[in-house]
Structure formats: structure tokens, C-alpha cells
A and B are shown apart, each in its own frame.
Chain A
Amino acid sequence: MIRFEHVGLRYGIGPEVLADISFTLKPGSFHFLCGPSGAGKTSLMSLLYLGRKPTRGLINMFDDDVGSLTRTELVPLRQQIGVVFQDFRLLNHLSAFDNVALPLRICGRPESEIKSHVHELLEWVGLGDCMNRLPATLSGGQQQRIAVARAVIARPRLLLADEPTGNLDDEIGMKLMSLIEQLNRMGTTIVIATHNLNILEQFRYPRLVLNHGQLRVFDPQDETNFDGDAA
């Protein structure tokens, strides 16, 4: 479903921040992306959400070779990817409701459907009474939950989350992880970049470990497997 082959990325004429990355994510898989600060996690995420093109190598996503697609052809692929950014990237002039509704509006869904879906999801993440509030008036944790809700509202085939539980207390963090697991059980492929050891200990999914631009795969279920296919 998602295949990286010898992918490299550099910014301008600088050194490669990602070097010779190869891995495969099968449909419905769940992975954590780990590694120290500056290891290239954000760069790898940007390649995964098609925000950048690699400087070398091949990326195959949902059976399409990303490098050979035009800008217009990338649009439907992007619509199948949900992203939770570390800095949330909420639109501050829009209400919580409209922020969450955005991916559905982009896909052209009818307003009645948007209304019922958004209400249901915001209730589920505990923000049912904050629908008309602007992000600036919400706490960091509430904003993060809106960011997660926005990423999952359109039932993406791939969910990418950069530290999705970073600003949440343990209880809400676990609740969100349960939501993400639920999505995973419904077939969504999940990649979560995190430093949170509690989460890593509790949810023992395979880990993509980045260090100095190199990727290794570690499966906590099978500690002998510390390289190769990530799926």
C-alpha cells in the first residue's frame, strides 16, 4: 500500500536529512515513528503526507507512483490522508466546528452530512460544548483534540500524527489513542510520531526508528526482528 524505496531528501544543497529510506506499510498496519530530535521524523512525515517530493528514490502510495503524478493527480491521494500536526495548524478564524468540517467541505460532502458527522465526533472527543468557540479561546489539549478530530473526520486510509498526545493529560491521551486504534481496526493505516514512552509501552506496535537520517524497523512483539520490512 505504501512503499518507500531508497528514498532520500535534502533541502537545497545541504546534506541529506533522509538517506536511502526503504520500508513498506501494509493496509491497516499501525506504526510508531521514533527517534531523537533532528533525526528527520518531520521530514519523513512530510513525504508521507505528500507535502514534499523526495530528491531521490521511489514512493508508491495507494498503488500510485507519487513521482510520476501531476499536481492534480495528487489531490485525491491527499484526500485519503489525515494529518495531525505537532503545532495543530488550526485555522484561528474558524470555529472548532468549521475546523473539523474542513476536510469534508474540501471533498464536497453535503452540509447535512457534515453537520451530523462533526457533531458526533466533537461530542466523542469531549468538545461538544465548544463547537462554536474559536481555537484561540481553547486550551492546548482542546486544540489538540480538534486537530485529531479534523484528521480523522473524513475516514482517511492513512492517518499521520505528529505527537498527537503531547499536550493531553494521560486520560484524554489514552482516549484519543483508543479512537485511533478504533480507526485502525476499521482499516486505516496509522503512523504516529511520538516520544511518549507511556504510549510506546502501552501500545506495542512496530516502530520505525529514525537516527541521523537512517531508518530501522523494530517490532516490540518480536525483538529479534530489528530490520527489514516494517509491516
Chain B
Amino acid sequence: MNSIFIHKSKDAHYDIPLHQKLGTEFLIMLLALMTLLCLLATSTSMVLGKALSQWTSGLENSLTIEIPAGNNAPALATSIERALGEIDNVKRATRLNRDDISGLIAPWLGGLESQLGDLPLPTLIQVDLRIRDAETIATIRKTITNLSDDVRIDAYETWLTDLMRLTTTIRLVALALLIIILVITAMTIAGAVRSRMAIHHEELRLLHIMGAEDRYIAKQFRNYILRLSLRGVVVGSCAFVLLLVLFFILKPQTGLLIPTDHHSLASYAFIAAVPFILIILSFLTAQNTVMRVLRAMP
């Protein structure tokens, strides 16, 4: 007997002909795309966060005090160090020696390091704080101003604050993007399920007349959507891995921003959770949509 006349047992679990290709297969590609976008948004946020953390590492809890060159500079530096030692939140105050300062300005002198001996270099004190807060910085400013008006304090506020804001903004944008993607995915799945329910209205009615419970019918739609989303999520995850490999291959040529340091386990866990979140979302959306539509039936 020709196989088209014989029932295919692999479709036996669908009493409703959901395996028939009637337009909802686009969900595979949609889920693949959404998985890729979610993974990109999450990993971009993670990579940028890590990069910014590397740039600002060690600076969040420190500031530099600059004493202009002059005859009283060493004595003033000693007074400042003593005064800083009395402030609770100051962990350490370290005066940089001449070699350290030469090393800092050498790049701006291009090959003229030998002339440094003739330059009037300022005295720099690196101050490490236990916790960076506005109150401590204000106390330090006040203490130092009392000792001398010429001393300059660089607490990196301007660019450090901007970097922090940028980090927070990028993370919020990534989170918003993630939420938007999830909402669009849920809405599309709900629409697809409703359309299949409309197409199979007669079969649904028949199952109802036979005494099928809502959850019996919902299970079939749920499993169908689960199969589609599993395929989509696998395709999207594979595309993400390929893209990642491509980034690493192109990194030397393009200088792409990919911090090589290890990320936290929580970051990796969150990225790994993204495909599962999409699968669970699809599953619950299908179940919820079917139950709501069925409740409207007689």
C-alpha cells in the first residue's frame, strides 16, 4: 500500500492536525531570530560591562593630589599625608617617587626622557579610599584647602561618572531590548496559536463533543509550539555560537571589543538561561492562549 494512504505513526500524538504545514512554521525562524537577538543583547551588555569595569578598575576608590613644584612641596606633602591619615575613610596615601612620575609623563615627551631632570615636576599623592562617597571627597578637599590653596585634587569625577552612567544606560537598554523581544515573541506565538485554533475549529468542536477537557486540547497545542520553539532556539543558539567564533577569528584584524578576561559564572549562567527562558515563554504562552480561547467556547 502506498505510504500516503497509511497513517504515519509519528504524528499520532496530535488529534488535531497540527503537524500540517499551514503557515505557523515561521515560528521556527522567528524563535531562531529572537534567540539570536536575546543572546546578542545579553552578551553585548555583559562584554561592555566587563570592558568598562576593566577601564575603571582601581580608579573608583582612589584620587590623586597634585602639589605644584616648589621649595615647600615636600613639607606640604608630608602635612597632607598626615592630615589624610586622620580621615576615617582613607585607606592609604602614597606619595609617588620621581621615577613613577617620570614614567607617567614620558609618553608625552617622545624620546626626551633624559631632559626630565630639568623639568619642575609636581609631587603626586595617590589616595586609596575604603568606599568612594561624596562626603569623604568633600572632607579631603576641605582639609587640603585649609593647608594650601595651590594644591589640586583629581578625583576623576567627570569621566568616571560618565562611564558609570554609560554602563548603567547600556545595561538598561539591553534589558529593555530583552523585554521587548520577549513580549514580541509571546504576542506572535499567541497570534499563531489563535490562528491555528481558528483553522481547526471543527476538530476542536468535535473533541469537545467527545468530552475532551480543555487541558487535553491545550496539551496538543503546547507540545506543537514546544517542538517549533525548540527547533528555533537550537537554530538561534547555533547561529550565536557561529557569530561568536567569527568575532574571535576577526578580532586580531578588526580590533573588536571582546574582553579576554573570564566573566563571572552568573554571567555565563544568564546567557545559558536565555534559550530556556524563550522555550518556557513559548510553552506558557501557548498553554495560556489555548485555555483562554477554549473558555470562550460553549
Contacts and interface: CB of A to CB of B under 8 A. Distances in A.
Interface of A: 49-53, 71-72, 75-81, 83, 89, 91-95, 97-98, 102-103, 105-107, 132-134, 136-137
Contact of A133 (B7, B20, B209): B7
Contacts, number: 75
A56 to B, nearest CB: 16
A91 B203 contact: yes
B205 interface: yes
Contacts of A107: 211
Given A134-B6, A137-B5, A103 B210 contact: yes
A133 B5 contact: yes
Given A98-B7, A106-B216, A132-B6, A51 B20 contact: no
Contact of A94 (B15, B208, B295): B15
A106 B215 CA distance: 11
Contacts of A76: 211
A52 B205 CA distance: 11
B20 A93 contact: yes
Interface string B255-298: 00000000000000000000000000000000000000001011
Nearest to A90: B206
A106 B206 contact: no
Contacts of B15: 91, 94, 98, 102, 105
Contacts of A79: 210-211
A133 B295 contact: no
A72 B207 CA distance: 14
A184 B154 CA distance: 98
Contact of A97 (B7, B19, B211): B7
